[in-house]
Copies of this chain bind each other. A is one copy, B any other.
Amino acid sequence: HGACEEEDSDVDDPWQDEEYYGSYKTLKLHLEMLSDQPRTQSYRNVIMQNSQALKGKRILDLGCGTGIISFFCAQLSEPEVVYAVEASDIVEQTRKLVEENGYSRVIQVLGQRAEELQLPTKVDVLVSEWMGTCLLFEFMLESVLLARDLWLKEDGVMWPSTARIHMVPCCADREYSSRVHFWDSPYGLNFSSLKPMAVQEFFSTPKPDYVLKPEDCLSQPCTLLDVNLKTIKIEALERMSSEFQFHVDCDGTFHGLTAWFSVQFQNIDSQEQVDLDTGPFNPLTHWKHTLFMLDQPMQVRTGDKIAGSAVFTRNPIWRRHLSVTITWSITSPSQNTEQNGCKVFPIWR
Contacts and interface: CB of A to CB of B under 8 A. Distances in A.
Interface of A: 4-5, 7-8, 26-28, 31, 34-35, 40, 44, 66, 68, 71-72, 75, 93, 96-97, 100-101, 178-179, 182, 186-191, 193-194, 197-198, 201-202
Nearest to A68: B187
A263 to B, nearest CB: 19
Nearest to A72: B187
A53 B67 CA distance: 68
Instruction: Tell me the number of copies of this protein.
Output: 2
Contact of A189 (B35, B101, B190): B101
B93 A194 contact: yes
Nearest to A5: B4
B188 A75 contact: yes
A4 B19 CA distance: 13
B190 A101 contact: yes
B193 A100 contact: yes
Contacts of A179: 31
8 contacts: A27-B194, A27-B198, A28-B201, A31-B182, A35-B178, A100-B190, A101-B189, A101-B190
Interface SS, A side? helix
B96 A193 contact: yes
Nearest to A44: B187
A186 B34 contact: yes
Contacts of A202: 27-28
A28 B203 CA distance: 12
Contacts of A100: 190, 193
Nearest to A7: B8
Given A5-B4, A194-B93, A71 B189 contact: yes
A27 B198 CA distance: 7
**Residue from A28, A72, A191, A202 whose CB has the most chain B CB atoms within 10 Å:** A191
Given A71-B187, A187-B71, A191-B66, A27 B201 contact: yes
B40 A187 contact: yes
A31 B35 CA distance: 32
Contacts of A34: 182, 186-187
A66 B178 CA distance: 17
A159 to B, nearest CB: 17
Given A31-B179, A66-B191, A75-B188, 5 more contacts: A27-B202, A68-B186, A93-B194, A97-B189, A101-B190
Contacts of A190: 97, 100-101
Contacts of A8: 7-8
A100 B184 CA distance: 13
Contacts of A44: 187
Nearest to A71: B189
A9 to B, nearest CB: 11
Contacts of A101: 189-190
